């Protein structure tokens, strides 16, 4: 099977980085085989910390005469001249102060701060164990921020059916296909965007997930029918890049355009005020498979392309209906405990 079209980094060759950071990002791309999107995320997070480090060391984060906001200061700060000595001088206190700034001034959520910690841990581990730049890791005891556990947000079965029935735009064949795949397969937005014609064979889709990991997803009849109909209809405008989902000009649809299409169809279905997104449709597919299809959580892990079973287990939450049924199943649920059997008040 031909290889997928390469997904390229938005920021490579990282010319604005100090040499050790550029080396690390190149290492992630070429040696570790991390996806360009993942490496771009690491670049953004580490760049942010080095900006903080440079500003804090120079005292520029103190109230300035220009009264610049932290966001404005960060945007003006170059990191190419950050030295290895400055990077090595970091302490846990520096990272805690940085995370506090991200929380108070930039309003980063716990999840956003956890991404920053993961990026920094990887960078300093590389400097201290993969290379000889640092003799020890100054942040090796840095913990991930505690994140509030929340249940995944998803459409009910009735809402899912309504959404599919409202895919009646001028591009209804395309829109219905997109929604059908999201709601049945639980694929990520990026996985749908980068689908190529050759990825659809023998009733299966080959998806390129996080970390450049490929997996096969088996399609049910509605998915096959929707894909067959859309591929046939869009064949005259499809260009040589072989993307499945294309614009009227034959170019691959962008993630932002897919988000707009989903938002439009949610509005048509009267669901636009509930915060649903393509990722929430992925949650919906997983939840419906588990609750209505009794799909084993280990199989669900493979379908969704999760690296760890713990990630998949968020979908094993019980529904309100299941909790109500459990309450009603109590052997004492239908007894009036406020009265004696002879009718007198207790």
Phi (first) and psi of residue 215, to 5 degrees: -150, 160
Beta strands in the chain (DSSP E): 200-201, 204-208, 214-218
Would you state the structure tokens that stand for residue 308, as one six-digit string?
A: 């760890």
Residue 279 among the catalytic residues? yes
> Hey, is 87 helix, strand or coil?
helix
Residue 188 among the catalytic residues? yes
Is the Cα torsion angle 219, 244, 177, 290 positive or negative in sign? positive
Name the catalytic one among 22, 210, 224, 280. 210
Name the catalytic one among 32, 153, 238, 279. 279
Residue 292 among the catalytic residues? no
How far is the CA of 171 from the CAs of 18, 127, 228, 248, in angstroms?
A: 48, 51, 15, 10
How far is the CA of 172 from the CAs of 165, 178, 248, 284, in angstroms?
A: 10, 10, 13, 21
Would you state the structure tokens that stand for residue 50, as one six-digit string?
A: 């080095």
Name the catalytic one among 47, 282, 283, 301. 282
Residue 317 among the catalytic residues? no
End-to-end CA distance of the chain: 77
Q: Are 202 and 10 in contact (CB under 8 A)?
A: no
Please state, in angstroms and rounded to a whole number, the distance separating the CA atoms of residues 194 and 7: 9
Please state, in angstroms and rounded to a whole number, the distance separating the CA atoms of residues 95 and 7: 32
Residue 96 among the catalytic residues? no
Q: At what angle do helices 172-185 and 157-165 cross, to 10 degrees?
A: 160
Residue 334 among the catalytic residues? no
Name the catalytic one among 34, 51, 265, 306. 306
Name the catalytic one among 54, 188, 252, 265. 188
Tell me: cis bond preceding 197? Omega within 30 of 0 counts.
Answer: no
- Tell me how long the chain is: 346
Name the catalytic one among 43, 52, 276, 315. 315
Would you state the structure tokens that stand for residue 156, as one six-digit string?
A: 């009910």
List residues with catalytic annotation: 188, 210, 279, 282, 306, 315
């Amino acid at each position: 099977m031909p290889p997928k079209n390469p997904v390229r980094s938005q920021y490579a060759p990282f010319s604005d980085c100090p040499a050790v950071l550029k080396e690390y990002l190149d290492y992630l791309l070429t040696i570790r085989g991390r996806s360009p999107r993942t490496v771009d995320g690491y670049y953004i997070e580490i760049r942010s910390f080095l900006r903080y480090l440079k500003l804090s060391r120079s005292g520029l984060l103190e109230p300035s005469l220009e009264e610049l906001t932290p966001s404005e200061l960060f945007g003006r700060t170059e990191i190419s001249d950050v030295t290895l000595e400055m990077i090595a001088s970091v302490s846990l206190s520096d990272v805690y102060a940085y995370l506090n700034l991200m929380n108070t001034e930039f309003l980063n959520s716990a999840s956003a701060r956890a991404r920053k910690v993961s990026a920094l841990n990887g960078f300093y581990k590389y400097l201290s164990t993969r290379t000889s730049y640092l003799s020890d890791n100054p942040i090796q005891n840095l913990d991930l921020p505690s994140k509030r556990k929340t249940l995944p947000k998803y459409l009910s079965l009735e809402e899912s059916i309504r959404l599919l029935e409202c895919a009646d735009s001028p591009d209804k064949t395309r829109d219905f296909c997109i929604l059908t795949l999201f709601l049945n397969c639980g694929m990520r937005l990026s996985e749908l965007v980068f689908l190529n014609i050759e990825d659809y064979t023998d009733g299966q889709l080959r998806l390129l997930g996080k970390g450049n990991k490929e997996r096969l997803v088996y399609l049910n009849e509605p998915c096959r029918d929707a894909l067959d109909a859309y591929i046939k209809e869009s064949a005259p405008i499809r260009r040589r890049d072989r993307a499945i989902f294309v614009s009227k000009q034959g170019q691959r649809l962008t993630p932002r355009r897919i988000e707009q299409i989903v938002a439009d169809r949610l509005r048509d279905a009267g669901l636009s005020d509930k915060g649903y997104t393509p990722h929430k449709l992925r949650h919906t597919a997983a939840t419906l498979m588990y609750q209505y299809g009794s799909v084993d959580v280990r199989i669900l892990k493979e379908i969704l392309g999760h690296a760890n079973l713990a990630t998949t287990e968020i979908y094993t939450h019980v529904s309100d209906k299941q909790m109500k049924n459990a309450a009603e199943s109590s052997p004492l649920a239908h007894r009036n405990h406020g009265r004696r059997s002879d009718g007198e008040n207790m």
